[in-house]
Structure 1
Amino acid sequence: MSKLGNLGARLHRGEVSYDFIGHRKLWYGISILITITAFVGLAVRGLNMGIDFQGGAVFTTPKTSVSVSQAEEYAHDASGHEVVVQRLGNDTLRIQIAGMDTQQSDKIKTALAEDFKVDAEQINADLVGPSWGDQIANKAWQGLAIFMVLVVIYLAIAFEWRMAVAALVALIHDITITVGIYALVGFEVTPGTVIGLLTILGYSLYDTVVVFDSLKEQTKDITKQTRFTYSDVANRSINSTLVRSVNTTVVALLPVAGLLFIGGGFLGAGTLNDISLSLFVGLAAGAYSSIFIATPLVADLKEREPQLKALRKRVLAKRAQAAAEAEYGSSPADADDARADAAPAVVGPRGRGRGRPSGKRR
């Protein structure tokens, strides 16, 4: 832990720097590949929509020792449909069957009562109409659209429109990955899933805004110097907030992982899976996008501006001159001869070159 804290301090002071911006094409490629995989999963497998969106019947049994697998077999034989069975905390079972009407529900309830060897009145049956699920979905889409608009407006005012565009791209990236994971894994999509998706939007923006705030502060009057390009400063902003972003994400992921893997996996609390998976994937994707997508995209957009494009040329020319002088000595004539062939230096502490003493080149 002390080593991690020391690394964070060195990153913040600029003593250590990882070139995230310089490898942005690699990060873009990875994100495009993941996004394509998500779309393929949606196209091939689709989403496993819950009963709240499809409509159907929900049966709750009294306390029973019947296993989940046995209950699934009973319900499938009685209905002929795919069923979802969850064991609740008081040893009762919750059986969901999609596409049921009132008459079918009564017949299935009677059959389940015989299989479970209980009175039919002890089994509670609730019918769910698909229109309620449609209302939830519509409200979710409306909430998502309003949230996106407000985020773009706020970031455009607080920072600038390029940062707003980059944050919007990162948000769409996170949502697409999360929905694609649901399609690939096959977890049921419930109202809890919708709540989880809306919740991760704020977490996804948190790290992005932290980096943007640092970047805005460090790029004041950037055109008045010739040491750093905008990409250099953007990279330094990521490094200075890197450990804080990682720590925040890990702390947020630990309880969500407990819900997903312990609650949903070992304890069989299936009702936790719908919201915990969306939170887990969304938090991880949000941390990734703030570092590898949003900030590099801002750097790309900003360096299209004429002033920053000219600054980049001046900085690179100065580095080429410095590299030439370090290689061939301090003679202006020697530096001029080699300047065209000199490569730009990497930003950061530069070691002393083993140049020959000034004078005529041998």
Structure 2
Amino acid sequence: MSRLGTLGAKLYRGEVGYDFVGKRKFYYGLSVLITITAIVGLAVRGLNMGIEFQGGAVFTVPKSESSVSQIQEDAENASGHDAIVQELGNGTVRVQVSGLDVKQADQVKTALAEDLGVAENKIAADIVGPSWGEQIANKAWQGLAIFMILVVIYLAIAFEWRMAAAALIALIHDLTITVGVYALVGFEVTPGTVIGLLTILGYSLYDTVVVFDGLKDGGKDIAKQTRFTYSEMANRSLNGTLVRSINTTVVALLPVAGLLFIGGGVLGAGMLNDISLSLFVGLAAGAYSSIFIATPLVADFKEREPQMKALKKRVLAKRARGESPEDASPEHTDGAPQPAVAGPRRSGPAGKRR
């Protein structure tokens, strides 16, 4: 068995682990800091909305001796607006200028033909109205709202309302970070970006639901025992699915990283950035939130229940009396204690292990 497989088996059996739930306040603070940074970036820089949302014109210019920077300068001088220029695979150049009507687009087309030394009829011009983008945005918001409602209802029925609330907070966390990254890096927001944002919601929930399923099974008769508190049981469930969560996230991130860094960066296919950045950031944020946010939040919610408070009091009291040596903590991978170890143990008269 590989080292990763061996580690996964030990995590599943509770022989080793990391105290995610016990250190939740640190990760809550880190998440708040990241979220505030994203919100500040969104408020200060704003989103670079694509032409589909602002309206404007897209010119397809045939291959010429002019460089991309020169074409961009000519387009901006002719239109008075910022221009986005991208080289296409067939040697042509795509020039996108927002905020142009039909008359202004004709003027820019004529000016580009003169500056680049090409026939005006060789330049294709497409006018995009902002109403189409507004319709897409409205539909996206409606779809997002419906999705959130259905997720909360399903999780509340399949699990319980505390898990539904934790999952909803994690989803909002992921979306906020992704949108904030778009504002900070200045990537253009297009319909592809909207599709990417909606797509990551499912990925974000995947690991969360897997852990919640373990929590549901482990919490059925938890009040009838005195070995673990609810937080300790939640931490064990989280460690048991940790390697699987990491594996599925890495496998999902690899092709998206190829689109973002190779396709969009090295090969210059800038349009791939529209969807690949949202997928990449959203997948990473979703994996983080399922481990460090969603499950610890459920533990926090549950520990406030009178029944779980009473359980915690009994467990700690029993350990203080030295009556539960089988619950003593083994060594963790990080040196932190964990409440369970596989295998039988015995205790001496003074409560010490033999």
Q: TM over 0.5, yes or no?
A: yes
Q: Which residue of 2 aligns with 1:130?
A: 130
Q: Is 1:48 matched with 2:40?
A: no
The code of the aligned residue for 2:16 comes to V
CA contact (8 A) 2:39 2:180 kept: yes
Q: 2:75–2:83: 8 Å Cα contact kept in structure 1?
A: yes
Residue 357 of structure 1 and its aligned partner are, at CA, apart by: 7.0
What is the CA–CA distance in structure 1 between the aligned matches of 2:324 and 2:340, rounded to whole Å? Answer: 17
Write the distance in 2 (CA, Å) between the matches of 1:86 and 1:70: 12
How many Å separate the matches in 2 of 1:211 and 1:39? 29
- State the Cα distance separating 1:76 from its structure 2 match: 1.3
Q: Distance in 2 between matches of 1:348 and 1:220?
A: 18
Secondary structure of 1:96's counterpart equals strand
Shift of 1:27: 0.7
Kindly report structure 1 stretches of 4+ aligned residues shifted beyond 6 Å.
Answer: 323-326, 354-358
SS of equivalent residue, structure 1 residue 220 = coil
8 Å CA contact 1:82–1:98 kept in 2: the answer is: yes
The equivalent of 1:25 in structure 2 is 25
Deviation at 1:116, TM superposition (A): 2.1
> In structure 2, what is the equivalent of residue 348 of structure 1?
340
Give the letter for the 1:348 counterpart: A
* Residues 346/243 of structure 1: CA separation in 2 closer, same or farther (3 Å cut): closer
- The letter of the residue matching 1:218 is G
Q: 2:157 maps to what in 1?
A: 157
Find the aligned partners of 2:12 and 2:230 in 1 and give their Cα distance: 18
- Deviation larger for 68-77 or 303-312: 68-77
- Summarize the alignment of residues 168-183 of structure 1 with structure 2, pairs less than 5 Å apart: 168-183=168-183
CA apart distance, 1:98:
0.7
Q: TM-score, normalised by structure 2?
A: 0.91
Amino acid at match of 2:340: G
Within a 5 Å distance, the mapping from 1:99-138 to structure 2 comes to 99-138=99-138
SS at match of 2:125: strand
Return closer, same or farther for 1:325/1:252 CA change in 2, 3 Å cut-off: closer
Q: 1:306 to 1:356 in 2, by over 3 A?
A: closer
User: Does the aligned pair in 1 maintain the 2:171–2:201 contact within 8 Å?
Assistant: yes
TM-score, normalisation: structure 1: 0.90
Cα distance between partner residues in 1 of 2:157 and 2:201: 19
Taking structure 1 as reference, are residues 357 and 255 closer, same or farther at Cα in structure 2, changes over 3 Å only? Answer: closer
User: How far 1:173 moved relative to its partner?
Assistant: 0.2
Q: Distance in 2 between matches of 1:238 and 1:322?
A: 27
Q: For residue 222 of structure 2, what is the aligned residue in structure 1?
A: 222
Say whether 1:265 aligns with 2:265.
Answer: yes
**Which protein has greater RCO, CA pairs closer than 8 Å, 6+ apart?**
2
Over 3 Å counting, the alpha-carbon distance change for 1:125 and 1:35 in structure 2 is: same
- 1:303 partner amino acid: E
> CA separation in 2, counterparts of 1:112 and 1:234?
63
Q: Which runs of 5+ in 1 are unaligned?
A: 327-344
Structure 2 contact 83–95 (Cα < 8 Å) conserved:
yes
Code of the aligned partner of 1:213: D
Give the count of matched residue pairs.
Answer: 339
Q: Residue in 1 aligned with 2:283? A: 283
Aligned-partner Cα distance in 1 for 2:248–2:67: 40
Checking the alignment, whether the CA contact within 8 Å between 2:227 and 2:324 is kept in structure 1 is no
- 8 Å contact 1:65–1:91 — kept in the other structure? no
- 2:300 aligned with 1:308, yes or no? no
Which residue of 2 is the match for residue 331 of structure 1?
A: none
Following the alignment from structure 1 to structure 2, what is the Cα–Cα distance between the partners of residues 155 and 357? 46
Q: 1:325 to 1:123 in 2, by over 3 A?
A: closer
- Bigger drift between 57-66 and 101-110 goes to 57-66
User: Kindly, what percent of the aligned residue pairs are identical?
Assistant: 76
What is the alpha-carbon root mean square deviation over aligned residues? 2.2
Superposition deviation, residue 349 in structure 1:
4.4
Find the counterpart in structure 1 of residue 332 from structure 2: none
CA distance in 1 between counterparts of 2:143 and 2:68 reads: 36
Partner Cα distance (1:173, 1:253) in 2 = 19
User: Match for residue 139 of structure 1?
Assistant: 139
